[in-house]
Structure 1
Amino acid sequence: MNIDSEVAPFVVRHDEDRFLAPVSFLNGRFDLKISGRDTGGALCVIDTIRLGRGGPPLHLHHEQDEWFFVEEGRFLFQIGDQAYDLGPGDSIFGPRKISHAFVNRSETGRLMVAFQPAGTMEAFFSGGSPHPLSEEFKILSRQHGMEVVGPPLRAD
């Protein structure tokens, strides 16, 4: 994947979306910071502002690695069979084909999330916000190269 030489440098301000079109998904607001369109599909970065406890169901990506950076709040992550408690400034890497999930343990929290390669994650998050335990969520996930393999983590 080559970066399009036509893409010029750009700035995305704090609390803004790359295209000024933030998305509501699960329990938060998602601001796209770097689009797959900017990187020839190599990378997608999203700043997620979590507006309550909760998170996605246990899932895996068939073709993408995922990296998380905790900006605010406390999060519990599960990568494979291991649990990790992360706070501000901590990051964790979730390799492709390894199940993972996280839960916001704070009333509010903020995670920067990177997907490599970008795949169709932007379209996934724009596909509505079905309940994470619904069949609709599982179908949406499969359409974008993921498999739901378990329930969301509990915040307690």
Structure 2
Amino acid sequence: MTNSDFSGPVRQDSDRFGRPVTFLNGRFDIKLATGDTGGGLFIIDTLRAACGGPPLHYHHEQDEWFLVQQGRFRFRIGDGLHELGPGDSIFGPRRVPHAFINLTAPARLLIAFQPAGQMEAFFAKSLLDPRSEEFRALSREHGMEVVGPPLSI
């Protein structure tokens, strides 16, 4: 552990710093911060109150791993479409376009980014409409490229 102020467990439905972010269609709780691992890993828990998801995008330097905890999700990783339920996980390698949509609400998804890169900073600033040019620019500033629309049900 590299963060000397790490204070123990992060409880369910809690954010590591007590500052959850509302973004897209849900609440994002940091479970493991970038600083906790010296930039090696960033983990967020997302509780989704309505159906939806991010636009098709890829990360230049981060791999992304998803674990469905509640509900049903559809993922696009590259050209493949996959439907996942509780306990299922899927890997999104860096530089491979991916998107997901929760098909049920509420739904919960745990997401890990490795290395952490600038993802924590992105979520702290990402209150923009994901269809806007400002969102695309913010994504580029944080190591991502938006390459298509969100998935639809």
With normalisation by structure 2, the TM-score equals: 0.96
C-alpha contact 2:69 2:86 (8 A) present in aligned 1? yes
C-alpha contact 2:23 2:126 (8 A) present in aligned 1? yes
| Aligned-partner Cα distance in 2 for 1:126–1:6 | 22
- 2:92 corresponds to 1:55: no
User: Which runs of at least 4 in structure 1 moved beyond 4 Å after TM superposition?
Assistant: none
Cross-structure match for 1:129: 127
| Aligned-partner Cα distance in 2 for 1:5–1:119 | 16
Unaligned runs of 5+ in 2: none
Matches for 1:76-155 after TM superposition, within 5 Å = 76-155=74-153
**CA deviation vs aligned residue, 1:53-90 (integer Å, no higher than 9, x gap):** 11000000000000000000100000000000000000
Q: 1:129: how far off?
A: 1.8
Give the percent of matched residue pairs that are identical in Structure 1 and Structure 2: 61
SS in structure 1 at match of 2:138: helix
SS in structure 1 at match of 2:36: coil
Q: 1:8: how far off?
A: 4.8
RMSD: 1.2
With normalisation by structure 1, the TM-score equals: 0.94
| Aligned-partner Cα distance in 2 for 1:17–1:120 | 18
Q: 1:128: how far off?
A: 3.4
Cross-structure match for 2:72: 74
Alpha carbons of 1:107 and 1:36: their partners in 2 closer, same or farther (altered >3 Å)?
same
Q: 1:108: how far off?
A: 1.5
| Aligned-partner Cα distance in 2 for 1:65–1:49 | 21
Alpha carbons of 1:97 and 1:128: their partners in 2 closer, same or farther (altered >3 Å)?
closer
Q: How many pairs align?
A: 153
Unaligned runs of 5+ in 1: none
**CA deviation vs aligned residue, 1:17-70 (integer Å, no higher than 9, x gap):** 001110111111000000011000000000000110110000000000000000
| Aligned-partner Cα distance in 1 for 2:53–2:6 | 34
SS in structure 1 at match of 2:126: coil
Q: 1:9: how far off?
A: 6.2
| Aligned-partner Cα distance in 1 for 2:105–2:32 | 27
